[in-house]
Amino acid sequence: MWLAKNWKDYEVIDCSGGEKLERWGDYLLVRPDPQVIWDTPRTEAGWRKPNGHYHRSAKGGGEWEFFDLPEQWQIRYKDLTFNLKPFSFKHTGLFPEQAANWDWFSAKIKQANRSVKVLNLFAYTGGATLAAAAAGASVTHVDASKGMVTWAKENAVSSGLGDAPIRWLVDDCVKFAEREIRRGNRYDAIIMDPPSYGRGPKGEIWKIEDAVYPLILLCARLLTEEPLFFLINSYTTGLQPAVLSYMMHTALRQYHGSITADEIGLPVSSNGLVLPCGASGRFEC
């Protein structure tokens, strides 16, 4: 398992009964997590006095309950600064487990000794975009949500990357990839973090089980002749590491490189265990 173990401003303190207790900078949050199917005594004090608690509803969705939590605050990861705020469906605007991948591809960009063009699809609030830009890459950041792209730009400014070579685009990822193929544009590296289900800016339906492999095939046509890496993330239970590996092997077989896939996770500070947080597949030359 690939662990995001280098955080200082974030930690999973404990997990029990379908929820996790987390520290985000100076604030403690309790949020639901479907992986936490065990139930152990909640001895950590934070369980009793969190700053925010997201309660899942039996009817679907849920709502936040706040106890002295600001509308927005910041945390840092190495040289990056992220603006956080609780919003719909339990999220804060950052997936901390992805730091395991940020560290991996940042090292590859720095060691490449050449200019590196990165395409980041389903780029959300820009964690991977900023990590790649900070490592020296030029990045094309694509997300269907205007609000998420605006948030990512704010994170770039907070991280001192407001003038970095980042192209910010609000677009449907599949349609953008198709247009880039027609335009003849190529990238040295591709990152994609597709949702399990979503809609594009014009209502286009995205269902990962049906759409992800055709998108990987499309993106394989966007790679340069000697690509640096290709990263795909999945939070969908059915797309286990072996499935990601097989898709990448079949879609990228014309390139000479190695493919690995594994779970990603976060260490739990109270007991030394690891909370699984999805899977990633990595191609690298």
How many whole angstroms from its chain centre is CA 255? Answer: 25
Q: pLDDT tens digits, the chain, 285 residues: what are they?
A: 999 999 999 999 999 999 999 999 999 999 999 999 999 999 999 999 999 999 998 877 899 999 999 999 999 999 999 999 998 789 999 999 999 999 999 999 999 999 999 999 999 999 999 999 999 999 999 999 999 999 999 999 999 999 999 999 999 999 999 999 999 999 999 999 998 877 766 677 778 888 899 999 999 999 999 999 999 999 876 789 999 999 999 999 999 899 999 999 999 999 999 999 999 999 998
Report the side by side order of strands in the sheet with 138-143.
2-3, 258-267, 274-284, 229-234, 189-192, 117-121, 138-143, 166-170
Residue 109 to residues 43, 73, 115, 122, 130: CA-CA distances in angstroms? 43, 30, 9, 20, 13
Predicted confidence at residue 201, as pLDDT, reads: 61
Residue 221 to residues 210, 213, 218: CA-CA distances in angstroms? 19, 13, 5
Nearest to 91 by CA among 143, 157, 146, 32: 32
Predicted confidence at residue 13, as pLDDT, reads: 98
Predicted confidence at residue 103, as pLDDT, reads: 98
Residue 38 to residues 17, 42, 95: CA-CA distances in angstroms? 6, 12, 22
- Is domain 2-84 given the CATH code 2.60.40.1180 in the classification? yes
Predicted confidence at residue 203, as pLDDT, reads: 73
CB atoms within 10 A of CB 147: 11
Q: Are 237 and 223 in contact (CB under 8 A)?
A: no
Predicted confidence at residue 200, as pLDDT, reads: 63
Residues whose CB falls within 8 Å of the CB of residue 18, separated by 6 or more in sequence, listed in order: 32, 33, 34, 36, 37, 56
Rounded to 5 degrees, φ, ψ at 179 are -70, -40
Predicted confidence at residue 239, as pLDDT, reads: 83
Q: Which helix (H) or strand (E) holds 54?
A: strand 52-56
Q: Which residue has the tokens 């949500």?
A: 145
Residue 169 to residues 17, 126, 149, 176, 267: CA-CA distances in angstroms? 40, 12, 7, 9, 34
Q: Which helix (H) or strand (E) holds 107?
A: helix 99-111
- Is domain 96-284 given the CATH code 3.40.50.720 in the classification? no
Predicted confidence at residue 283, as pLDDT, reads: 98
CB atoms within 10 A of CB 240: 15
Q: Are 215 and 173 in contact (CB under 8 A)?
A: yes
- Domain ranges for the chain: 2-84, 96-284
How many whole angstroms from its chain centre is CA 168? Answer: 17
Q: Are 138 and 129 in contact (CB under 8 A)?
A: no
Q: Which helix (H) or strand (E) holds 131?
A: helix 127-134
Helix axes 127-134, 99-111, angle to 10 degrees: 30
